[in-house]
Amino acid sequence: MTETAEEFSAYVATRQRALIRTAYLLTGDHHSAEDLVQIALARTYVAWNRIRDKQGLDAYVRRTMINEHTGWWRRAWRRLEHSTDVVPDHSTRPGTDHAASSADRDEMWDLVCTLPPRQRAAVVLRYFEDLSEAETAEALGCSVGTVKSQTSRALATLRARLHQLAAATTEEGSR
C-alpha cells in the first residue's frame, strides 16, 4: 500500500462516523448519507496529493459533500415524492414527556428537511455541527454575511412553518 493510500485510509478510519453524521443531517436518509460520504471521499482521494493543508481535510470533505448534495437537489428527479412503507400518523402521540419531546424534535427535523439545500446546509453546519459562522462560511464557500442571511432566512421559514403547523393542530383540535 502506498503512503498516500495509508494516510487516506487512516483519515477515513478516524473520521468516517462524523462524516456520515454530517451527511445524514444534510440528506435526512442513511443510505443517501452513505452515498454522499462515498462520493466525497472518492473525490478527496483523487485530490489527496493536491491538498496541502491536511489539518483542513474535514472542511474540504464537508465542502465536497455540500456541493454534491446541492447538485442532487438541482436534478429534477430529486423533486419527486418518496414513498414509504409506513404512513406517518401525527395525531397519535404517546403521553410521556420524553415521547412528546421526541415527536416535537422529529417534526422540527421534518421541517428542516424542507429547506432549500443552501439554507439547510447552513442550519446543519451552524446548529447541528456547531461550527462558527466563519467555519460555516468556509465550508459553504461563501462570506460570513451570506451564512448569516441564509441562516436568518432558514430560521424565519422554520418559525413560519411551525406557526402554520401549530395553527393547523389547534384548528383540528377545535373540531
Provide the residue ranges of all domains of the chain, joining segments of one domain with +: 1-78, 95-175
pLDDT digits over 1-45, tens only?
A: 788 889 999 999 999 999 999 999 888 889 999 999 999 999 999
How would you classify residue 61: left for phi > 0, otherwise alpha for psi between -120 and 50, otherwise beta?
alpha
pTM over 0.95: no
- CATH architecture of the domain with range 95-175: Orthogonal Bundle (1.10)
CATH 1.10.3470 is the classification of domain 1-78: no
pLDDT digits over 60-81, tens only?
A: 999 999 988 887 766 655 455 5
Query: One-letter amino acid identity for 149?
Result: S
Length of the chain: 175
Name the nearest CA neighbour of 154 among 136, 175, 174, 170.
136
pLDDT digits over 101-160, tens only?
A: 677 777 888 888 889 989 999 999 998 888 899 999 998 899 999 999 999 999 999 888
Calpha distance 165→49 (Å, rounded): 50
